Amino acid sequence: MDMKKRIMAASTGAVMAASLAVAPVAGAATAPVGGETATPDAYCAEEYWTSTTVTSNTFKQSYSAYSSVSGAPGVRLTIATGRTFGVSGDITGELSGDVSAIVAGVSAKVGTRVGVSYSSTNTVSGAWTVPSTYTNGGKLAIGAKQAQGTWKRQMLNRSCDVVTLRSGSFYTPWQQFYFQHFKL
């Protein structure tokens, strides 16, 4: 090989070696620059999570007998202790494995334990006197507050995309009794 070809081969080899030293390994994730998207050969470890969004907390009256009492203005209404009351909720779009993650997410957001349903014997009585301004009377009811909102089961796939696998809504009662009064 003549001298010109040797110099050419040596310089080509050096340039190749230098570019291999700085090029990313195939399949390695590269950081996007200036808002660009990840490269097609990016790789992320798969991750799964459930997110919840609580939109409101409403009152849900117990479906049990004697869960409410009504009366005229000036009457003192009481719901006694020792009765078993229940409140049911609903979660839509879930698979059996999603329920515990949804309930845990909602509990963390509202700051108290929630469940798909709640049934227990109340140990505190509720009492309320119907104001004289309630000309048609009033009603006292026992039940539970109920968190309402939406949930999503999502994953980060190997292409570094967030994908929603399932989603739905929930109505989950707080795991404690709550008394509410109404104007009739």
Is the Cβ–Cβ distance between 173 and 146 less than 8 Å? Answer: yes
In a shared domain, residues 6 and 52: no
Q: Residue 175 CA to chain centroid, in angstroms?
A: 17
> Which residues constitute the domain of residue 52?
47-183
Q: What is the pLDDT of residue 81?
A: 85
Measured CA to CA, the distance from residue 70 to residue 78 in angstroms comes to 9
Measured CA to CA, the distance from residue 180 to residue 107 in angstroms comes to 21
In a shared domain, residues 25 and 110: no
Place of tokens 């700085």: 22
In a shared domain, residues 109 and 20: no
The tokens of 104 are what? 């845990």
Task: State pLDDT tens for residues 14-68.
Answer: 433 333 333 333 344 444 444 555 555 568 899 999 999 999 999 999 998 889 9
Measured CA to CA, the distance from residue 181 to residue 128 in angstroms comes to 8
State the CATH number of the domain containing residue 147.
2.170.15
In a shared domain, residues 136 and 120: yes
Task: State pLDDT tens for residues 70-95.
Answer: 999 999 999 988 889 999 999 999 88
In a shared domain, residues 39 and 52: no
In a shared domain, residues 110 and 33: no
In a shared domain, residues 18 and 107: no
In a shared domain, residues 146 and 171: yes
Task: State pLDDT tens for residues 108-163.
Answer: 999 999 999 999 998 888 999 999 999 999 999 999 999 999 999 999 999 999 99
In a shared domain, residues 174 and 104: yes
Q: What is the pLDDT of residue 96?
A: 78
- Angle, alpha carbons 162-164-31 (nearest 5°): 0
Measured CA to CA, the distance from residue 147 to residue 106 in angstroms comes to 8
Domain count, the chain: 2
In a shared domain, residues 131 and 175: yes
Is the Cβ–Cβ distance between 64 and 143 less than 8 Å? Answer: no
Measured CA to CA, the distance from residue 179 to residue 153 in angstroms comes to 34
pLDDT score of 169 more than 50 = yes
In a shared domain, residues 12 and 83: no
Q: What is the pLDDT of residue 97?
A: 83
